[in-house]
Amino acid sequence: MISQIIPKLPFIDKQNTIDYYKNLGFEFTADYGNYLIAVYNNSEVHFFEFKELTPAKSDFMLYLKISNNIDKFYQQIQDKKIAIHPNGSLESKSWSMKEFSLIDPAGTLLTFGEKI
């Protein structure tokens, strides 16, 4: 039985990744040099070193569901001056989700969504 799904994302510069995700509210619980583990509430994300990755060519993506008040979370992101994806401003989608997107330092697309 599957009890949990944990995404594994690349990082190029470890400290940039730690700083970026801490700014989003993640807490890093393990650092194994070329492998990191971060948590946010009951969610966990693992990071692996991929120094050869070109961020502009990255195909990595992660969808993060917000349980309530995506508007407040979006405002917090803006208040922290975290760059919003050029095509990722907060908006309601036809699939009954309100979403916005960011791109992390390794070029991973992070989309945040809340059911509407």
Task: Write out pLDDT tens, residues 83-111.
Answer: 999 999 999 999 999 999 999 999 999 99
Task: Write out pLDDT tens, residues 42-98.
Answer: 899 999 999 999 999 999 999 999 998 999 999 999 999 999 999 999 999 999 999
Average pLDDT score, the chain: 96
Distance CA 100, CA 18 (A): 21
Q: pTM for the whole thing?
A: 0.93
Task: Write out pLDDT tens, residues 27-41.
Answer: 999 999 999 999 999
Torsion-angle region of residue 81: left (phi > 0), alpha (psi -120 to 50) or beta?
Answer: left
In the sheet with 43-49, reading across from the earlier edge strand, the strands are 8-11, 43-49, 35-40, 27-31
